[in-house]
């Protein structure tokens, strides 16, 4: 007859883990369970996963801590800035797309600044012409 293997978690531990996680399905709850039961974080997550309780947390930052930006979002922003549909643009690397968007935004900002300066100069010229004609 085969030997019974030792359980990592008692039934009471499993009940407490499931109840705690279902009340607050966050990584903070997992961290609390790690402290409470003295088990590794991966072990707690694995147990909750095997029970069908654990929900992976959506990532909103990269490993470097920068916000997650999808390549498709960068392409859409570029197309919006250029008022164009560029289907093959998605084949470029994400870094190149991000740089392109940055350059386009700087150009557009510069154009806006120039337009504002032109309007200001036009107003000044109109004032001077009005004073000269008086």
Instruction: Please write the tens of the pLDDT for every residue from 86-95.
Output: 989 989 999 9
- What integer pLDDT is reported at residue 108 of this predicted model? 92
Domain range summary for the chain, segments of one domain joined by +: 11-50, 71-133
> Which tens digits make up the pLDDT trace of 18-69?
999 999 888 889 999 999 999 999 999 999 999 999 988 777 777 666 788 8
Contact of 99 with 89, CB cutoff 8 Å: no
Cβ proximity of 44 and 17 under 8 Å? yes
pLDDT over 90 at 78, yes or no:
yes
Mean pLDDT of the chain: 89
Task: Give the global pTM.
Answer: 0.49
């Amino acid at each position: 007859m085969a030997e019974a293997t030792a359980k990592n978690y008692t039934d009471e531990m499993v009940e407490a883990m499931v109840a705690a996680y279902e009340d607050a399905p966050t990584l903070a709850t997992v961290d609390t369970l790690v402290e409470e039961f003295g088990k590794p974080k991966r072990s707690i997550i694995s147990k909750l996963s095997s029970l069908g309780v654990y929900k992976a947390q959506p990532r909103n930052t990269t490993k470097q801590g920068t916000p997650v930006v999808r390549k498709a979002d960068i392409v859409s922003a570029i197309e919006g800035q250029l008022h164009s549909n560029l289907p093959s643009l998605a084949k470029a690397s994400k870094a190149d797309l991000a740089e392109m968007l940055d350059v386009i935004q700087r150009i557009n900002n510069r154009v806006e600044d120039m337009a504002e300066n032109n309007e200001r100069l036009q107003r000044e010229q109109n004032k001077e012409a009005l004073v000269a004609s008086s």
